[in-house]
Chains A and B, each alone.
Chain A
Amino acid sequence: MRPSIRLGTGNDRVWLSDVAGWGNLHIQTRWGDGGSGPWEATWEMTLPPLYRPRGLTTDIRVEIYVGSEEVFPGRLPDTDWNAGEFSALGAVREGEEAVAINGAGATTATPNTFIDAGISRGALTWVRRTSISAVSVADVDTTDGIHFIQPVMDAYADGAGLRWGVNARREVFASADPTTPAWYIIPGSGELGTSTDRMVGKLYGRWRNTAGTPATVTSGVGLPEVPVDLTTRGALTSTAAQSILNGIGSKAVSTKNFTNGLEVDSSQIISPGGTPAALHRVRAGQMVRCLALRDERNGLPWTDFVIGSTDWDVDARTISLTPIDAEERDLATFVEEAGGKLS
C-alpha cells in the first residue's frame, strides 16, 4: 500500500493528497547518537509559482501512514517553495530544539523530568510510557549551562549503553541494540565493505576521583592497546569511568567497522520465515542478517549488523541500509564524544 501524508492536528487535519499532488517520497530512520527513530521525510510537489496551498504552514504536524499504521511522526519546518522540495523532521528531532528544564524552569539533567516538562509545555510532541531514567545524568553541567534535550539524552544513552529515540508512535524510549535478526537479506544482494584496520583491542582509561587521585580502568582484550585520557571529564567515580570506557569500547572494538551499506528491494529482504518484507517495516535499530556473506570478523558464513540508518525510496520501492556507526569509524571521534581524549 502506498503511504499517505497527513498534515495538521484535530479538526484541521488534512490529507496532503486533497491539497495538491506530491511524489518522490523518501523516509529515513536512524539508530544511534543524536537520537533514534524516524528521522526525516522528503517529498516533492510541483506547484504553480507563488501558490501556497492551505495546510502547508511552518511547523505543521506531519504524519505519514501506510494503511492504518503510522510510520513517520514529524513536523514541517521552513520549506523551499521555489524548488518544490519539502522536508519534514522526525519527532525525535524536537530534542534538538527543546531545552532540558523542569516544570519550574530550572535546569535539570534527569531525563524523566525534562521530558515530562517538555511534553507539558508543548515543546515536545512525545509520549512517555515508561521510565527512561529518574536519575540525573552524570557530568552534565546544570549550573552554568543550559542544554538542549538531545545532547543530554545522548550522554545518558552513552553512559547506560543504550540508544534513545522516539518511535513512529511518538513514544520516547531507550533500549539496547538487538541481538537477533529481524530480517534476512538474501545472498547476492551486495557486499559490505570492511576496513582492515582494527581500531582497538584493549582500552586503558586514566581518570581522577573527587580527591584528585588518578587511577586506571580497562575495557576489552587483545591488541592493539590504546590509552585514553579521561581526566578531561573532571572528577569521576570508578563506576562512571568504567561505564564511559565501556561505551567507547563498544563502539570501537572491531564490531562495527563497515564502510558502506546496501540497497535492496522487497524481494531481497525477507522475514526469517521466508516472506518478503514490506519496506515500511524495515527500520534503523533492527538487526539484519546477510545470508551467505562471510563475516570477516568472526568467520561465520553470514554477517549480522544493526541498521544505523535507512532511506526508503517509496517510488523506486527500494531501501538503503547502512550499518550503525559506519560513518563514524574514527576512534578519536568516539573518545571525544565521550569527553575524553586520546593520550
Chain B
Amino acid sequence: MGIDLSTVPAGSLIFGDTDLIGNITPIEPLPYVIETEADGTTWGDADAVVAEIRAQILDGEVATVSSYENREATVRIRITGDDGDALAQGEAALMAEINRGRNTLAWVPLLSGAVPGVFDVVYSVLDFVSEEWDLREKRRRQRTYTLTLACLPFPRTEQKVLIESLPVPSTSTGSGVTPTVIDSGNSTTNWVPQDTATAAAETPSWAGGATVVVLRRSGATRLRLSRTNLSAATGGRQFLRVTGWGLWSAIGGKVYAQAKIGFGQGATASTNVTPVAYTYKASTGRFDALLYLPSGLSGNRLWMIMDYTGPHPANVHHSALGIDEISWVGDAPFTSTTRQMSRTLPVYGSARTEGELEIRALASDGTTPEALGAHTLVYTRAAGAGIQPPLRTYRTNGMPVVADSTLVSGAREPLAGTTATFVVPADLVKPGNYQIAARLRCSDTNAQTLTVTAATSTTDASLLPSNTATITRTLNFAAASTWQFVSIGDLTLPTIETGHTAADLTLTIANNNANVVDLDEAWLFNTDDGQLSLFDTSGSGVSMLRIAGATLDRHQPSAWVGTADGAAVVNAGPRRLWPGSHEFAPGEVEVFTVTTSTARARAALRYWPRAHTHLVDLEAAGNVITWVDDDLTAAPSGTD
C-alpha cells in the first residue's frame, strides 16, 4: 500500500490507500471527507473450526480447533461533501478499493504505544444505508455506507520479520585441532561440591581411576559440582568438551539413567552455557557435551548441574555425578559433521502464520555462496517436541565404523554381520508415526532388501510382551556407489507405551546382502508433529533453498532454489522429492536440515507476525528485529 503506516497518527483506519478516518492530510485536496462511525464498526470474530475427537470420557466432548475461518469486519462509513457530485466521488473512491479484490485494512489503535495492524482483505462489499438517507443528504450533506470486509482471521504487521540462525561456529585457526586435556578426573583438587548454603554438601571423592565423583544421599533431585582454576584455551581452541556420567537410584536399589546435565560458568552457576552438542545415553548414563566458548571460560570455573528428568521425583534416593575428562578441543561435533544441524528460530506473534523458510550456504568468508549439495533435507516442528532425528548418536553396535569427513555423519559402516543397532531412551520417543530414512550407498544396482526392526525393552523384562515391529523395503539403488537418501518405511513408535519405567527402544538396520550397502546416517522423523521435505539441490550454483507456505496470492505451498545472494531464484519444480507442508506456530520452531555438501548451512525464517486482533510492539519487548518487504524473489538481507 502507498501509505507508510509508521507515519500515520493513532486512531487511523486505512483501506488500501484510502483514509477512512479523515485525519491524514491528503496529497491533493479532495472535495469529500470520509469518516468512520464507531457505532456500527466492528472487526468481527475469527470463528474457530472445531473438530470433534471421538473419545470414551463419560461426560463432555473432546475437541480440537483445527483452523479459523475468515472474520467479517464491518465499517460504518460516512461521506461528507459540498454537493451531490462530491459525495458520488467519495463513493467511487471506495468502489475503486473494492474493485482491487484483495486488499488491506490497516488499523492504528487509539491508545499511544500501539503498533499498526493490517488485516488481509479477501474481498469487500459496499452497502448504502437507506435509513433516513434523505434527511442526511439534504440537511447534513452526508451519505452513509456499510463496508463489509471478509478478512483473514488474524491481522499482521506491515512488514515481514526476518529471523536468521547464528552462523555455524567456524573451526579454529592454527594448530588447535588436537584436544588439550585440562582435567583428567584423577584428582579432587579444585573440585568444589554442592553449595553448603542450600543443602547437605558432599565432598567430591576420587575412588581411583579416572573419574571424580560426587554422591548425594539426601534424595534431592539436583546435584551440583564445580571445577575452579581451569586452564585457559590455547591454540585457538574454542570448544570445551566434558564427558562423564549421571545416575539416580530409587529406594530398593534400582538404578536409573534419567538425568540431564547442564553447565554454567563464572562465580555463580547462574551463567548458563548451552551445549552445542549433548548426548546422554540411557543405556549407560554416560554423557558427552560440547560447549562453544570462543571467548574462553568466564572466571575459569565450570559448573556441572545434574537434574533428574524422570516422572517420579519422590522416588529419588541417591544421586551420583561423575566427571571423566574436561578438555579444550578445536573442532565441532564428535558424533556428526555440521552437515546436519538443528536450530531453533522464534516465531513472534500470538497466532499461527504462513512463512518462508530459507536454507542458504555461504563460504567461510560469509559472502560467497557455496553449493548446498546433491540433496537437502528439511524437517520442521515446534521446538522441544521430542527426539532429535539423527540416530548415529545412539549407535551401540554394528560393523567397524570408518571415519569419513565428507559424509553427513562423519562416518560410515557397511551393513553386514554385526547388525547396526541404535538404542534410544523410550522417554524421548513421543508416541506417533515415525518415518525411518537413511543415507545409503550400494556397490551395485541389484535389488537389496533393507530390514528395520524396532523393539522396546525395560530393566524388568517380564513386564513386556514381545513387541518387535519390522519394516522391509526392497529397492534397487539408482546408481552404484552413489550416496542417496532412502525412505525405508513408517513405524508406529514406541512399539509399546511404557510408563515411568526407564525403557529403551532398540532399532536395527540390516541388508540381506552383506557388505554391499554402506550406512552414513539414519533418521527417525515424527510425522505427526513435524513436516519432512527432501529436495534435489544438485548443481554447483544451487546455494539457496526456499520453502514457502500457501498465501492469499499463491494458494499452494511452493519451493524455490537459487543462489544465496538472491541473484537468481527459480521454482524448485521436480527437484521436490519428498513434499512437506511446513507450518509456523507462535513460539519457537525447530528447523533440522541435512545438506550433503556444505557444512555451513544457515536457516532463515521470513514471516508476518500475526495476532488475534492487536499486535505487540516487538522491538519494545527487547527483540532485535530485521524488517523486510514482502517479495518472494528478493535477495535475503544481511551477510555475516
Q: Which residues of A contact B (CB under 8 A)?
A: 1-2, 4, 6, 11-15, 17-18, 20-21, 65-69, 129, 171, 186-189, 264-265, 267-268, 271-278, 280-281, 317
Closest 8 CB pairs of A and B: A68-B487, A278-B433, A273-B496, A17-B556, A4-B579, A271-B492, A275-B431, A274-B497
Interface residues of B in 479-519 (CB under 8 A from A): 487, 489-490, 492-497
B320 at the interface (CB under 8 A from A): no
Q: How far is the CA of A264 from the CA of B494 in the complex (A)?
A: 22
Q: Contact between B56 and A187 (Cβ–Cβ < 8 Å)?
A: yes
Which residues of A have CB within 8 Å of B534? 68
Of B163-171, B325-333, B570-578, which stretch is located at the interface? B570-578
Q: Are B532 and A1 in contact (CB under 8 A)?
A: yes
Q: Verify A317–B456 contact, CB threshold 8 A.
A: no
Q: Which of B474, B496, B556 contacts A274 (CB under 8 A)?
A: B496
Selected from B54, B433, B581, the residue in CB contact (under 8 A) with A268 is B54
Give Cα distance in the complex from A317 to B67, angstroms: 14
B528–A278 touching, CB < 8 Å:
yes
Question: Which A residues are in CB contact (< 8 Å) with B474?
Answer: 129, 171
Contact B527 A1 (CB under 8 A): yes
Cβ–Cβ contact A67 & B558, under 8 A: no
From B56, B525, B573, B579, residue with most partner A Cβ within 10 Å: B579
Q: Report which of B494, B558, B571, B580 forms a contact with A1, defined as CB distance below 8 A.
A: B580
Tell me, rounded to whole Å, the shortest Cβ–Cβ distance linking A162 to chain B.
19
Known: A274-B431, A274-B496. A267 touches B581 (CB 8 A): no
In B569-605, the 8 Å CB interface with A consists of: 571, 573-574, 576, 578-581
CB <8 Å contact, B578 and A278: no
Q: Are the C-beta atoms of A186 and B56 separated by less than 8 Å?
A: yes
Given A1-B580, A69-B487, A273-B494, 18 other A-B residues pairs in contact with their CB atoms under 8 A: A1-B581, A2-B581, A21-B555, A67-B487, A67-B531, A69-B435, A69-B489, A188-B56, A189-B54, A265-B53, A267-B53, A267-B55, A268-B54, A273-B495, A274-B496, A278-B432, A281-B433, A281-B490
- Out of B497, B556, B573, B574, which one reaches A273, CB within 8 Å? B497
A65 touches B556 (CB 8 A): no
B490 touches A278 (CB 8 A): yes
**B42-85 interface code vs A (CB 8 A; 1 in, 0 out):** 00000000010111100000100000000000000000000000
B555 & A317 in contact (Cβ 8 Å cutoff): no
Q: Are B578 and A65 interface neighbours, CB within 8 A?
A: yes
Instruction: Say if the beta carbon of B557 comes within 8 Å of chain A.
Output: yes
Taking A1-B581, A18-B573, A129-B474 as contacts, is the C-beta distance between A67 and B56 under 8 angstroms?
Answer: no
Give the chain B neighbours of A281 by CB distance below 8 A.
Answer: 433, 490, 492
Determine the distance from Cα of A214 to Cα of B51 in the docked complex, in whole angstroms.
64
CB neighbours (8 Å) of B456 from chain A are 273
- Cα(A68)–Cα(B435), bound, Å: 7
Say whether B189 faces chain A, with CB atoms less than 8 Å apart.
Answer: no
Chain A residue with the shortest CB-CB distance to B492: A271
Asked if B437 lies at the interface with its beta carbon under 8 angstroms from chain A, I say yes
Whether B557 and A17, one on each chain, are in contact in the complex, defined by CB atoms closer than 8 angstroms, is yes
Q: Is the CB of A275 within 8 A of B494?
A: yes
Query: Is B467 close to A, CB under 8 A?
Result: yes
Measured CA separation A274–B494 after assembly (Å): 9
B447 at the interface (CB under 8 A from A): yes
| Total A-B residue contacts, Cβ distance less than 8 Å | 100
In the complex, what's the smallest C-beta–C-beta distance from B508 to chain A, in angstroms? 17
Q: Closest approach, in angstroms, between the C-beta of B210 and any C-beta of chain A?
A: 41
Contact status A278-B527, CB under 8 Å? yes
Residues in A neighbouring B467, C-beta threshold 8 A: 272-273
Cα of A2 to Cα of B528 in the assembled complex, Å: 10
- The answer on a CB contact under 8 Å between A265 and B492 is no
- Find out whether the CB atom of B497 lies under 8 angstroms from the CB atom of A275: yes
- The contact sample of 17 A-B pairs, CB cut-off 8 A, is A1-B580, A6-B579, A14-B573, A18-B556, A18-B573, A20-B556, A21-B555, A21-B556, A67-B580, A171-B474, A186-B56, A188-B56, A267-B54, A267-B62, A271-B492, A273-B495, A273-B496
| Shortest distance between the CB of A213 and any CB in chain B (Å) | 47
B528 to A: closest C-beta gap in Å: 7
- Asked if B532 and A67 make an inter-chain contact with CB atoms under 8 angstroms apart, the answer reads yes
Contact B558 A18 (CB under 8 A): yes
Residue of B nearest to A13 (CB): B574
How many angstroms between the C-alpha atoms of A13 and B54 in the bound complex? 39
Q: Is the CB of B574 within 8 A of A14?
A: yes
Contact with A along B555-566 (1 / 0, CB 8 A): 111100000000
The residues of A that contact B494 with a CB separation of less than 8 Å are: 273, 275
Instruction: Give the distance to chain A from B518, nearest Cβ to Cβ, in Å.
Output: 20
Q: In the assembled complex, which residues on chain A have CB atoms less than 8 Å from the CB atom of B431?
A: 274-276
Which chain A residues lie closer than 8 Å to B555 at the CB level? 21
Distance, CA A12 to CA B54, complexed state (A): 42
Distance, CA A267 to CA B432, complexed state (A): 11
With a CB–CB cut-off of 8 A, which chain B residues contact A12?
A: 574
Using known A-B contacts A18-B556, A65-B579, A273-B497, determine if residue A265 contacts B527 with beta carbons closer than 8 Å. Answer: no
Minimum distance in angstroms from B497 CB to a CB of chain A: 4
Instruction: Determine the distance from Cα of A273 to Cα of B525 in the docked complex, in whole angstroms.
Output: 19
Q: Is the CB of B53 within 8 A of A67?
A: no
A267 contacts which chain B residues (CB < 8 A)? 53-55, 62
Chain B residue contacts of A275, Cβ below 8 A: 431-432, 492-494, 497
